[in-house]
Amino acid sequence: MKNRNKQINKEAKITIGLYLFYFIWWYFFAYYKSDDPSKYTFILGLPSWFFMSCVMGLIIINILVFIIVKLFFKDMDLNSEEIEK
């Protein structure tokens, strides 16, 4: 039971860290890298700030989540009797 709680806490911290990384990434490109609309550069027809914050951010966070889940998360039975005690 103690190992399970330790693993759950570890997974929760990793999840919060990933979310904070994604939010900081999105916020940085959406608010700090957006300029005057007359000076926009475009990537695939989208303003570069939008492309980097929404498109690339999503791709990067999906790859990171996949890697982190494969490396650090463990499959646990949540229906065991230990939880009910």
Kindly report, residue by residue over 30-68, the tens digit of the pLDDT: 888 777 788 888 999 999 889 999 999 999 999 999 999
Return the sign of the alpha-carbon dihedral for residues 74, 78, 81, 82: positive
Distance CA 31, CA 50 (A): 10
Tell me the domain boundaries of the chain. Answer: 2-74
**Dihedral angle of Cα 29, 35, 41, 45, to the nearest 10 degrees:** 70
Kindly report, residue by residue over 58-75, the tens digit of the pLDDT: 999 999 999 999 999 988
Percent of the chain scored above 90 by pLDDT? 56
